[in-house]
Structure 1
Amino acid sequence: MCKSSNAFRENVLELLISWRVSMEINNILETEDREVFMTLSQTYQEWKEATKREGLEQGLERGLERGKLEAKLESIPRLLALGLSVEQIAQALSYARVEN
Structure 2
Amino acid sequence: MFGANFELNDLRQTRFFQDVFEEGKKQGKQEAFEEAKQKAKQEAKLEVIPHLLAFGFSIEQIAQALGLDEQVVRQAAQPKS
TM-score range, shorter chain: 0.5 to 0.7
Higher Rg of the two aligned structures: 1
Give the total of aligned pairs: 60
Runs (4+) of structure 1 moved beyond 3 Å? Answer: none
- 2:54 & 2:22 partners in 1: Cα distance? 49
Q: Which structure carries more helix by proportion?
A: 1
- 2:26 & 2:64 partners in 1: Cα distance? 37
Aligned AA (2:41): K
Q: Which has the higher contact order (CA 8 A, sep 6+)?
A: 2
In the other structure, the counterpart of 2:29 is 56
3-state SS, counterpart of residue 17 of structure 2: helix
Shift of 1:91: 1.1
In the other structure, the counterpart of 1:11 is none
In the other structure, the counterpart of 2:41 is 68
Aligned AA (2:59): V
Unpaired runs of at least 5, structure 1: 1-17, 22-36, 96-100
In the other structure, the counterpart of 1:85 is 58
% same residue: 42
In the other structure, the counterpart of 1:29 is none
